């Protein structure tokens, strides 16, 4: 998984019981919101999300090898299919 690096904030989201306290553990700190502080170091990191279940046990999800890098989302029309080799003066 790759999240946006600093100065932007990485966002982790998911679904769970809204009446239960959901905690996110990242970089040896517990977080109670899911918008992370800006991260400059690239990683890799582990992110652990925990929520108590109705039977008293804890449900835990761990995301391994999370990296913080520049994330770009590109969109467009037919020009998005053009290869760099086809661009004028591509060298």
> Domain range holding 45?
2-86
Residue 79: pLDDT band (50, 70, 90) is low
Report yes or no on 19 lying in a domain. Answer: yes
Distance CA 11, CA 21 (A): 18
Report yes or no on 91 lying in a domain. Answer: no
Output the six-digit token pair for 7.
Answer: 């100065």
Contact call for residues 68 and 4 (beta carbons, < 8 A): yes
Residues 14-71: pLDDT tens digits? 777 777 777 777 778 776 667 778 888 888 999 888 888 888 888 888 989 989 888 8
Q: Could you give the number of structural domains in the chain? A: 1
The sheet with strand 45-52 has its strands ordered as 2-4, 58-69, 45-52, 23-26, 29-31
- Report the CATH number that the domain containing residue 62 is assigned in CATH: 2.60.40
Residue 91: pLDDT band (50, 70, 90) is low
């Amino acid at each position: 998984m790759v999240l946006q690096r600093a100065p932007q904030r990485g966002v982790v989201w998911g679904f769970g019981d809204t009446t239960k306290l959901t905690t996110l553990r990242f970089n040896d700190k517990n977080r109670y919101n899911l918008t992370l502080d800006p991260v400059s170091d690239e990683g890799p990191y582990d992110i652990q999300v925990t929520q108590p279940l109705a039977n008293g046990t804890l449900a835990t999800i761990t995301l391994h090898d999370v990296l913080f890098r520049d994330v770009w989302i590109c969109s467009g029309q037919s020009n998005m299919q053009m290869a760099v080799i086809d661009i004028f003066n591509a060298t």
